[in-house]
Amino acid sequence: MTEKLPPEFIKELESVSRLHEQAVCDHEKCREFSEKLSDLLVRLEDMKFYKTADRLMSILINCSPKEASHCEKSSLVGEAVKDVAKEAQRAAEK
Q: Which residue has the higher pLDDT, 70 or 56?
A: 56
pLDDT band per the 50, 70, 90 thresholds, residue 94: confident
Would you say 31 and 24 are in contact if contact means Cβ atoms under 8 Å apart? no
Q: Is 69 exposed, middle or buried (0-12, 13-18, 19+ CB in 10 A)?
A: exposed
pLDDT of residue 80: 92
Question: What's the average model confidence in pLDDT over 40-62?
Answer: 95
Domain ranges of the chain: 7-93
Residue 66 pLDDT more than 70? Answer: no
Residue 68 pLDDT more than 60? Answer: no
pLDDT band per the 50, 70, 90 thresholds, residue 67: low
Residue 1 pLDDT more than 60? Answer: no
